[in-house]
């Protein structure tokens, strides 16, 4: 674009609008030009130039831009820019004197610089991203590989909806009894609250009355036991027992059968139920 203004000769411009003059200058005569070419050369949007030709000033930005675009457009087409600017002012109802017309040359330059700056920013962004990817391609490739391995691992671990469900076979657990191998099948258990701590267990092999007293002489158990019944003696060495049939009660100490407190059909009382004393003073009885 040259700074020299070339008058475009059109008959009776006084009755024509600014847009009509611009359109006629672009489309008539020997210098017919496409609006796309002029838009690129002036760095002004094509729709803005069309709006100037059609008098649609509301489509354009602020007034200062309208006048600046019109001045540059007129100069490019060889038309008196002051005439075009003054006509637009009248059409828009602007009473601004000619000598205070904005510096539209600077506006055009700013418009071009703004577009060029935006393009440079885009080029820099694209270039920086590309360089970063090329420089660190090994990391990207490694990360992608790890992601693929994780996805495959999850697919292998997670059960498929159609996959058969295999139930685990129950594992046989060997239960170790804390009770001795009684001579009689167990019929009924008494004193089960003492079972976990009891070192002494009594079992009736013949019917017998049994009474257990604690260290204060308080009766904690009194009952006739029939063959098979057992009783867990409370922990401690201060308990004493009375057997109505001493020979009918087996005494187990730490799962070992010791000697009876007396013969059958004999009443025995004051029997000290001391586990250490019973296991140490009496010999284990062979079953």
Tens of pLDDT along 98-128? 444 444 455 555 555 555 555 665 665 566 6
How high is the pLDDT of residue 173? 44
Contacts of 32 by beta carbon, 8 Å cutoff, 6+ apart: 26
How high is the pLDDT of residue 63? 85
Mean pLDDT of 167-185: 67
Mean pLDDT of 187-192: 94
Mean pLDDT of 34-60: 91
Calculate what percentage of the chain has a pLDDT beyond 70. 74
CATH 3.40.50.300, applies to 1-152: no
Cα-flanking dihedrals φ and ψ of residue 261, to 5°? Answer: -75, -15
Reported confidence tier of residue 93, pLDDT bands at 50, 70, 90: confident
User: Per-domain residue ranges for the chain?
Assistant: 1-152, 189-281
CA–CA dist 276, 256 (Å, integer): 12
How high is the pLDDT of residue 101? 47
Q: Which two tokens stand for residue 54?
A: 């059609």
How high is the pLDDT of residue 281? 56
Q: pTM, whole model, 2 decimals?
A: 0.39
How high is the pLDDT of residue 44? 92
- Mean pLDDT over all residues of the chain? 80
Reported confidence tier of residue 54, pLDDT bands at 50, 70, 90: very high
The CA-atom distances, in angstroms, between 164 and each of 103, 160, 161 are 83, 8, 8
Is pLDDT at 89 greater than 70 in this prediction? yes
Reported confidence tier of residue 175, pLDDT bands at 50, 70, 90: very low
């Amino acid at each position: 674009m040259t700074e020299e203004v070339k008058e475009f000769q059109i008959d009776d411009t006084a009755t024509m609008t600014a847009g009509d003059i611009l359109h006629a200058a672009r489309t008539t005569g020997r210098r017919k030009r496409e609006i796309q070419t002029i838009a690129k050369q002036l760095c002004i949007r094509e729709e803005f130039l069309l709006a100037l030709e059609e008098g649609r000033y509301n489509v354009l930005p602020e007034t200062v831009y309208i006048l600046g675009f019109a001045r540059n457009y007129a100069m490019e087409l060889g038309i008196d820019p002051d005439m075009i600017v003054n006509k637009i002012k009248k059409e828009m109802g602007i009473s601004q004197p000619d000598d205070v017309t904005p510096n539209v040359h600077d506006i055009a330059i700013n418009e071009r610089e703004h577009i060029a700056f935006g393009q440079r920013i885009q080029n820099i962004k694209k270039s920086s991203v590309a360089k970063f990817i090329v420089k660190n391609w090994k990391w990207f490739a490694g990360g992608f590989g790890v992601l693929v391995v994780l996805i495959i691992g999850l697919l292998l671990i997670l059960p498929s909806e159609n996959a058969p469900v295999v139930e685990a076979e129950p594992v046989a657990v060997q239960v170790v009894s804390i009770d001795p191998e009684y001579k009689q099948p167990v019929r009924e258990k008494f004193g089960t609250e003492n079972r976990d701590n009891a070192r002494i267990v009594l079992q009736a092999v013949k019917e017998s009355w049994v009474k257990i007293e604690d260290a204060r002489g308080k009766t904690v158990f009194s009952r006739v036991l029939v063959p098979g019944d057992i009783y867990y003696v409370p922990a401690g060495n201060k308990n004493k027992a009375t057997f109505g049939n001493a020979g009918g009660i087996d005494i187990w100490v730490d799962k070992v059968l010791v000697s009876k407190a007396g013969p059958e059909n004999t009443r025995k009382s004051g029997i000290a139920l001391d586990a250490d004393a019973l296991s140490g003073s009496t010999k284990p009885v062979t079953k």
